[in-house]
Amino acid sequence: MRLSFAIVTTLFALGLAAGTPARAQDSYDVNMTNYAKIPAGATFVTDLNENTELTSNAADKMRQALERRGLEYDDSGSIGFKIGTDRTVGARAPDAVFDSSNTILHLNFNSGDVKGTSRLGHSFRISLSVYDRGSGAVLARGDVTNNQPAADPIGTTAPMIEALLGRLEF
């Protein structure tokens, strides 16, 4: 009896270890369309869609990542990288909702399932457009989205930028 219990326990532990799904490092939704390759050794400049802390942070992280890839920042650069950010935060569900069609009061006991309330998700998106500053031709366009509700946008910006730039053709 003891031997079979030990075997079952060991097999159960091995099954748990083998059955645990590995979490992907880049659990982001990345979309990128490349129209032309970015020339090697090109100089670049960054443009912000809006002047916010999140977009400024994303531009800074992008500049660092591009310099690691061999591109040089220059105010009169030949390639432009236009970056923007968008953060959507879900609204808190109300404590109670009265349904006048059937005169029922629905109380929310921290379940998040109140009838009649919209359920918005949390997301953080970084969008990028790459263009030739001389001709205005678009070289690439894409975005990366993080849908994890507890993600800190400042903390996840660098890996999101890396995931996005990893899809660019240099």
Mean predicted lDDT score pLDDT of the chain: 80
What pLDDT is recorded for position 154? 93
Task: Identify the residue with better confidence: 77 or 104.
Answer: 77
Given this model, what pLDDT does residue 17 score?
45
- Between 21 and 165, the more confident residue is 165
CA distance 95 to 103: 17
The per-residue pLDDT for 115 is 52
Q: What are the pLDDT digits (tens) for 14-42?
A: 444 444 333 344 579 999 999 999 987 88
Distance CA 153, CA 146 (A): 9
85-125 tens-digit pLDDT:
998 876 555 566 777 778 777 666 655 444 554 445 678 99
Domains of the chain: 2-165 (3.30.160)
Could you say which DSSP state residue 76 is in? T
The whole-number pLDDT of residue 27 equals 77
13 against 71, higher pLDDT: 71
Strand ranges (DSSP E) for the chain? Answer: 29-34, 43-48, 72-73, 79-88, 96-99, 104-107, 123-132, 138-146
Q: Is 121 helix (H, G, I), strand (E, B) or coil?
A: coil
* Burial of residue 66, with CB atoms counted within 10 A of its CB: 0-12 exposed, 13-18 middle, 19 or more buried: buried
Nearest to 45 by CA among 68, 66, 69, 75: 75
